[in-house]
């Protein structure tokens, strides 16, 4: 088993690391890693329905879609992520959350913390969640990717704020995240040993569990290939937002020119139908504005550029483009 203590804090790069080793290595892998502030959404989720767009913009939080299913999670430097990439063979269990969660439970037991596996894919202390897990099967090589979060000293309020979405905005068939009461591991320790020391304890435990465990450092070749994957996939709007399933969106905002409510249908990230309601006044019929937006990506920079291009403020009385765009998100 190759044991990787990944120093990167780049959310795009770190998601690419997992796919790279899943698809290009035949070795069993264990990796520990952290992300700077990021929201990681499940593969089958509607990204915009999972994030607080205003807070994400304000705090410059990266948003990345992962390979695995499940719900959206918030990462910061107080959270440690762990990844197993293992072959399962013809007879092995493909999806076995408990197998990969047990080492974490065992590490916590040595620190006097009684943690337990719960539900489909969580690890809890009491009735509070500190670890959410997800898996992805790569059938071509009979390999499974399992990864999970370990909230050691995360900013719980930041988690709540970043994932606090108005559920009335979206109607879709995507899997919605289930919000749970969360806790930090550090608050349950007799002595806070710090995130780095806890991370080392987890790595030490894995190397003791697997006799063939050896440390592995990413080579220049690895890094080059991973960065290419990060640039071409994991940092792109097409993957992180455009991949979202079909959804209907509605949102209302108060502007200088009155209340504006946007209703639209979006498929594969593209606006397919749009209606704009409200008590606003117009200088001329707004059909050309609507027609100019249909067919575009549901993406703020793209839509704002188009509204400015068609000069929507000349159609809507006393509503500048910078205010109108807020109704679209």
The residue among 264, 60, 91, 70 whose CA lies nearest residue 162 is: 60
pLDDT at site 95: 67
pLDDT at site 213: 96
Mean of the per-residue pLDDT values for the chain? 91
Q: What are phi and psi of 147, to 5 degrees?
A: -140, 160
Q: In what order do the strands lie in the sheet with 122-125?
A: 115-118, 122-125, 128-138, 143-151, 79-87, 29-33, 2-5, 214-215
Structure tokens belonging to residue 85? 């990439």
Q: What are phi and psi of 245, to 5 degrees?
A: -70, 170
Is a pLDDT exceeding 60 seen at residue 143? yes
Q: Which domains does the chain have, with CATH numbers?
A: 2-238 (3.30.930.10), 247-328 (3.30.390.50)
- In whole angstroms, what is the distance from residue 28 CA to residue 3 CA? 9
In contact, 119 and 101? CB cutoff 8 Å: no
Q: What are the DSSP calls for 54-69, one per residue?
A: HHHHHTT-EEEE-SS-
Q: Tens digit of pLDDT for each residue in 44-82?
A: 888 988 899 889 999 999 999 999 988 889 999 999 999
Mean pLDDT lowest among 68-77, 170-179, 291-300: 170-179
Q: Is residue 241 very low, low, confident or very high in pLDDT (cuts 50, 70, 90)?
A: very high
Is a pLDDT exceeding 60 seen at residue 90? no
Task: Record the pTM.
Answer: 0.83
């Amino acid at each position: 088993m190759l044991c990787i203590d990944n120093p990167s804090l780049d959310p795009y790069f770190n998601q690419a690391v997992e796919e790279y080793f899943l698809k290009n290595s035949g070795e069993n892998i264990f990796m520990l890693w952290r992300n700077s502030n990021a929201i990681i959404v499940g593969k089958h989720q509607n990204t915009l329905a999972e994030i607080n767009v205003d807070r994400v913009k304000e705090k410059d939080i990266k948003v990345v879609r992962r390979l695995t299913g499940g719900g959206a999670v918030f990462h910061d430097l107080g959270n440690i992520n762990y990844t197993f990439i293992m072959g399962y063979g013809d007879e092995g269990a493909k999806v076995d959350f408990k197998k990969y969660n047990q080492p974490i439970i065992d590490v916590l037991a040595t620190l006097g913390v009684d943690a337990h596996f719960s539900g489909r894919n969580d690890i809890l202390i009491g009735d509070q969640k500190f670890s959410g897990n997800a898996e992805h099967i790569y059938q071509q090589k009979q390999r499974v990717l399992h990864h999970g979060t370990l909230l050691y000293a995360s900013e719980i309020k930041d988690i709540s704020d970043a994932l606090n979405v108005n559920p009335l905005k979206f109607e879709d068939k995507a899997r919605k995240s289930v919000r749970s009461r969360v806790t930090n591991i550090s608050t349950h320790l007799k002595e806070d040993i710090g995130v780095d020391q806890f991370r080392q304890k987890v790595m030490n435990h894995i190397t003791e569990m697997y006799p063939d465990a050896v440390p592995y450092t990413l080579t220049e070749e690895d890094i080059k290939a991973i960065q290419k994957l990060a640039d071409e996939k994991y940092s792109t709007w097409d993957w992180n937002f455009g991949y979202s399933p079909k959804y209907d969106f509605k949102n209302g905002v108060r502007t200088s020119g009155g209340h504006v409510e946007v209703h639209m249908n979006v498929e594969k990230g593209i606006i397919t139908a749009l209606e704009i309601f409200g008590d606003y006044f117009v200088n001329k019929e707004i059909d050309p504005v609507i027609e100019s937006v249909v067919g575009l990506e549901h993406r703020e920079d793209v839509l704002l550029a188009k509204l400015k291009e068609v000069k929507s403020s000349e159609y809507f009385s006393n509503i500048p483009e910078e205010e109108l765009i807020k109704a679209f998100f």
